[in-house]
Amino acid sequence: MLQYKLVLTSHTTFLHWAFAVVNLPSPHHQWSVSNSSVAHVDSMMGLAYALNLGVTNTIVEDTRVAGHIQVSSLNVVLPDSLSLYMTPLSTSGDPVEGIKAIPSMTRWYGVSGRRYLIQMKVFSEGLDAQEIYITESDDIKLSNNQSDYWRLFPVSDDIAIKHGWQNSLILKATSQGQDKLTASLTYFSRLNETKEVLKVAQEVMVCDQVKFSLDKSDASPTIFLPWAPAIYQEVELQATGGCAKASSDYKWFSSDMGIVSVSASGVVQAKKPGKATIKVLSIFDSFNYDEVVVEVSVPASMAMLLNFPVETVVGTHLQAAVTMKASNGAYFYRCDTFSSFIKWKAGSESFIIVNATGESPALDSLGNADFHASNYGSPCSWAYIYASASGRATLHATLSKEYHNFDGSFGGPIVLKASSLIAALTA
C-alpha cells in the first residue's frame, strides 16, 4: 500500500449542489469506489486511501433518493515536480485583487514590510501535468529557518478555510536583502517503497518600498506646476527603493500625457492645465511602485520671497526673487521655467539690475533642497541689483503673457506683479 492518503472532495461538490451542509459520518450517504485495487474508501467518512497507481471512480450515494449519486475520478500517480508560488497579500491577509500567484522563477522580488502567501504545490509527470492533492499526512515541508530578511508564519485557520489554502505559509518581508526558500516532499516510490525526495529552492530578494524623493520636507500629496502659453514647466523627479542601482531600474508612467508628460528618466513637463498621476515602479517588481498627483494650473499670484535683506551698503549688491501661487493658494513645486518671462525694474537710478534670472554663484542657493523646504515657495525668477547711490526705491517684477482658454470662454493676458521696497545706505 502506498502511504499516500487522499481526502476526496467529491462530497463537497455534491453538498454545494444540494445547498446543504452534511456532517460526516451520515447514515444517508454511502461511499464506494469502482476499482478497489487502486484505492479504498471509507463508506461512512469518505476518506480514500491510495493502494496502487491507476484510475478509479469514487461514488457517493444519497440512500434516501434512488439513483441520486455523484461520481468523481480519482487518479493515483507519483509526484514528478514540486513548485512554489508567491501571492502578495493585503493588510487584511486576503490576496490582492487582480494579482495572480507568481510561480517559481529565477528570483522573486518582495517589498520590505509587506506579507506574501507562499504555497507549495506538487504536480504529476507529463506535458499535461496536473496538481496532486496533498494531505496532512504527506511529508511536505517549507524551510522554516528564519532569514535575516523575512519571517515565516502559519496561515490562520479562518483565512486558510476562507480561501481553500493548503500547504502554505505567510512570508513577511522585514528588510532589504537576498536569501533562499527551500521546500521538499518525501514520498515512497512504486517499486520498492523506498523514500524519494523532491526539492525546490527559490531565491527571494527583498527590496525597500519605491518612493518619490521630493525636495520638500513637508511635501503635500500633490505637486503643483505652473503653466502659461508656450511655457512648459519641467521638473525631474527622483525615486528611491526597489533595489535600483541606476535610474534605468525604474519605469515611469503618466495617467494623462496630454496634461503632464514624463520621460524615461523621470522628467515631467506641464502640458496644459489639469491633473495627472505620475507612477514610478521598479523594473524588477511591478507591484513595487509609488504615485503622486501633479496638478497643472495658470499662476494666480506672484510675491517677493522674504529670504533676502532689503537694505545694503552703497557699492554692494542686493538679491531678490519672486515666487508664484496657484488659485488655491498653494505654492508651485517648481516654476523656474518662467524666469526669463518675468521682467525686473528698479524704480530709481540709484539701483541697477545687473543680472536678472542669470546664473550666479550667490543665487545658486535658491534652488537647493533647504530652500524648497521653506514655507516661502520655490523661486520662479531672481535678480541681482547693484546699489550705485544712497536712496530708496520700489523693486518691481512683472509677468505678462497672453492667455486664451481652450474652450474659448476667456481670452486676455496673464499679468502678475510683485514689488518690494529696497534701500541703499552710505557706509
Class of domain 81-207: mainly beta
The CA R_g of the chain, rounded to the nearest whole Å, is 35
- In terms of Cα–Cα distance, which of 248, 252, 236, 247 is closest to 289? 252
Q: Which residue has the cell 463508506?
A: 43
**The predicted structure's pLDDT at residue 110:** 96
d(CA 43, CA 81): 32
**The predicted structure's pLDDT at residue 21:** 67
> Would you give the end-to-end CA distance of the chain in angstroms?
107
Per DSSP, the three-state class of 338 is helix
The runs of H, that is alpha helices, within 106-220 are: 157-163
In the chain, residues under CATH classification 2.60.40.1080 are: 5-76, 81-207, 211-297
Show pLDDT as tens, one digit a residue, over the chain (427 residues). 333 333 333 333 333 344 456 777 888 889 999 999 998 999 888 888 888 888 999 999 988 888 889 998 999 888 899 999 999 999 888 888 888 899 988 899 999 999 999 999 999 888 888 899 887 778 888 886 678 999 999 998 888 888 889 899 999 999 999 999 999 998 877 655 678 889 999 999 999 999 998 865 445 689 999 999 999 999 999 999 999 999 999 999 999 999 999 999 999 999 999 999 999 999 999 999 999 999 999 999 999 998 788 899 999 999 999 999 999 999 999 999 999 999 999 989 999 998 766 554 344 444 443 444 446 788 999 999 999 999 999 999 999 887 655 555 445 678 999 999 999 998 7
Contact 302, 399 (CB under 8 A): yes
Q: CB atoms < 10 A from the CB of 365, how many?
A: 12
d(CA 129, CA 199): 17
d(CA 199, CA 203): 14
**The predicted structure's pLDDT at residue 191:** 53
**The predicted structure's pLDDT at residue 24:** 79
Contacting residues for 309 by C-beta, under 8 A, at least 6 apart:
318
**Backbone phi, then psi, for 248, in 5-degree steps?**
-70, -5
d(CA 131, CA 189): 18
Contact 82, 103 (CB under 8 A): no
Class of domain 5-76: mainly beta
**The predicted structure's pLDDT at residue 93:** 86
At the second CATH level, the architecture of 301-425 is Sandwich (2.60)
d(CA 60, CA 278): 57
Cα 66 from chain centroid?
A: 57
Buried/exposed code over 326-353 (b: 16+ C-beta within 10 A; e: otherwise): beeebbbbbbbbbbebbebebebebbee
**The predicted structure's pLDDT at residue 83:** 94
pTM value is 0.79
Distances (CA, A) of 232 to 123, 293, 372, 409, 417: 57, 17, 20, 22, 20
Residue type, 247: S
Q: How many CA atoms lie within 13 Å of 85's alpha carbon, on the beta-carbon side?
A: 17
d(CA 142, CA 100): 21
Class of domain 211-297: mainly beta
Contacting residues for 131 by C-beta, under 8 A, at least 6 apart:
121, 122, 123
